[in-house]
């Protein structure tokens, strides 16, 4: 828990540590574990997923062109279109599910970073990581992947050609909804990575010692939790697909999903614990369904052991691309038959 470290008699630091902000020994184990899970070179922990994601962009230079998806985590989208553009980044939002759209938008020599999220919150669309990596690298750009929903249990983006993989570790990596944390893992050391390291060291957005331990504790059950949630989400999606009170089920594990084939190529062992339901009765019906659930908890966030339900458009507000009839579901580890029964009674209520 120490915030500072002793100098040696010769005024050096034989421990290799000077100050807790960037050299906390509590980081060593969780960073090493995430690096191993992602087959990467090195991982940095941050105080939140937003801290991790924004550090990747702050490692760029004003004037750099960036491609990001139209459908993505709403807070990061707002940051990109607000702070990042005012800071001087040239941010362009495109349809990342279409490789031809990426190819058309990328600028050789000017595009420095392509950012993708797959599956993408909250429509759970899929971007082909390998195909996008090839396009990015041909143009001289880095590819970064927000793999929060997939986790390293289901996808290893670095093995598919990505340069960086980011997690909101608040979600599945922790798995218990009792901390905020983020991580970025790199495939190789380079100039951009050194700037990301400097952003963390100088910006101060680092994790505390207790949170680092909690994250490590949570990752001990990562494979059990993610596999259980994925299997249950598949069951929930299949049950409500074609349901008379559901207009559409958004889940990459359904063969009818537009991204199903790409998901099969890059996801192994399941399609994740996140799905969305579009309620046939529209916005007010969707809100009423969430209000009538008993086992599903009405709360923001995802990836914990408890199942959460949320009317997402209400959270994102004006300008959100989320349909107003959409409910976002984070499937936990409760009995899946109970989860389905609870949704059924809420729909009929």
Alpha helices, H only, the chain: 20-23, 28-38, 49-58, 74-79, 85-87, 99-105, 129-138, 151-154, 191-203, 209-219, 222-240, 260-266, 283-292, 312-316, 336-348
| Count of other CB atoms within 10 angstroms of residue 300 | 10
Residues with Cβ within 8 Å of 198's Cβ and at least 6 positions away in sequence, in order, are none
Task: Assess whether 294 carries a catalytic annotation.
Answer: no
| Count of other CB atoms within 10 angstroms of residue 299 | 14
DSSP string of 145-176, one letter each residue: EE-TTTHHHH--GGGGT-SEEEE-TTTTTT-S
Cis peptide before 122 (omega within 30 of 0): yes
The one catalytic residue among 77, 112, 128, 171: 171
List beta partners, residue 276: 250, 328
DSSP string of 201-247, one letter each residue: HHH-----HHHHHHHHHHHTTHHHHHHHHHHHHHHHHHHHTT-TTEE
The one catalytic residue among 77, 112, 128, 146: 146
Task: Assess whether 146 carries a catalytic annotation.
Answer: yes
CB-hemisphere CA count at 13 Å for 4? Answer: 2
The SS3 of residue 198 is helix
List beta partners, residue 68: 93
> Residue 329 gets which letter from DSSP?
E
Task: Assess whether 70 carries a catalytic annotation.
Answer: no
The SS3 of residue 114 is strand
The one catalytic residue among 5, 17, 21, 297: 21
Report d(CA 322, CA 320) in Å as an integer: 5
Catalytic residues: 21, 73, 146, 171
């Amino acid at each position: 828990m120490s915030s500072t470290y002793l100098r040696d008699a010769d005024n050096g630091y034989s421990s290799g540590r000077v100050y807790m902000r960037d050299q906390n020994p509590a980081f060593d184990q969780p960073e090493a574990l995430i690096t191993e899970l992602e087959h990467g070179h090195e991982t940095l922990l941050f105080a939140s997923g937003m801290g991790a994601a924004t550090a990747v962009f702050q490692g760029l230079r004003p004037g750099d062109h960036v491609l990001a998806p139209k459908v993505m985590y709403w807070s990061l989208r707002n940051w990109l279109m607000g702070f990042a553009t005012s800071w001087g980044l040239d941010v362009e939002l495109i349809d990342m599910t279409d490789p031809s759209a990426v190819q058309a938008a990328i600028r050789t020599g000017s595009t420095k970073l392509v950012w993708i999220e797959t599956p993408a919150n909250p429509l759970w669309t899929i971007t082909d990581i390998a195909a996008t990596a090839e396009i990015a690298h041909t143009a001289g750009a880095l590819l970064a992947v927000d793999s929060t929903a997939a986790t390293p249990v289901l996808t290893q983006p670095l093995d598919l050609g990505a340069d960086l993989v980011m997690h909101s570790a608040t979600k599945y990596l922790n798995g218990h909804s009792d901390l905020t944390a983020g991580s970025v893992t790199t495939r190789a050391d380079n100039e951009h990575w050194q700037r990301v390291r400097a952003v963390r060291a100088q910006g101060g957005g680092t994790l505390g010692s207790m949170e680092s331990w909690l994250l490590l504790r949570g990752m001990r059950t990562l494979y059990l939790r993610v596999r259980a949630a994925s299997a249950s989400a598949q069951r929930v999606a299949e049950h409500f697909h074609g349901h008379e009170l559901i207009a559409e089920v958004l889940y990459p594990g359904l063969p009818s999903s537009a991204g199903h084939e790409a998901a099969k190529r890059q996801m192994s062992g399941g399609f994740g614990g996140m799905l969305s339901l579009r309620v046939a009765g529209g916005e007010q019906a969707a809100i009423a369904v969430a209000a009538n659930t008993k086992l599903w908890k009405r709360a923001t966030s995802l990836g914990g052991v408890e199942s959460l339900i949320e009317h997402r458009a209400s959270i994102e507000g004006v300008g959100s691309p989320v349909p107003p009839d959409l409910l976002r579901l984070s499937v936990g580890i409760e009995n899946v038959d109970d989860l389905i029964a609870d949704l059924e009674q809420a729909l009929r209520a």
